[in-house]
Amino acid sequence: MKTKPRVAGIGGVFFKAKNPKKLGAWYQQHLGLPVDPNWGGCSFEWAERKVPHQPATTVWSPFPAQTKYFGPGKQGHMLNYRVKNLKRILTQLKAEGVWVDPKTDESEFGKFGWIKDGEGNRIELWQPPKGM
């Protein structure tokens, strides 16, 4: 039985930080997030939706408790950020001293790479395939 959706998508991503202000500055410096100093977060506009018939999605997916996909340790979440040129961004981040996983992945779903933020949280960077 198919049920009618009660939610329309992901409205926000919220997570704990040891030092929220410092971590917000890390994301602003290294990933270019437009962090607002008044409240410490940012909002993303779905630019892709401004183009007719151009899909733009946010994935929501629970993983098994024993997954290794989030890296070693007890990290209970992993954020995935869309990027336009994965290779270029990983090269830039590495030059800035950011930990970059030497392994990348490419499939029909796009290109994937991983980094760690200023508090050691594993982050996934995703370059979607053309048309997605």
Spatial distance between the Cα atoms of 19 and 21, rounded to a whole number of angstroms: 6
CATH C-level class of 47-58+69-127 = alpha beta
* pLDDT score of 30: 97
* pLDDT score of 27: 94
* pLDDT score of 131: 66
* pLDDT score of 76: 86
Spatial distance between the Cα atoms of 65 and 75, rounded to a whole number of angstroms: 10
* pLDDT score of 49: 61
Residues of the chain where predicted confidence (pLDDT) is lower than 70: 6-11, 46-57, 131-132
Cβ neighbours of 125 (radius 10 Å): 22
pTM above 0.95, yes or no: no
Interval 58-90: pLDDT, tens: 777 778 888 888 888 888 888 899 888 999 999
- Residue-range domain boundaries for the chain: 47-58+69-127
* pLDDT score of 61: 77
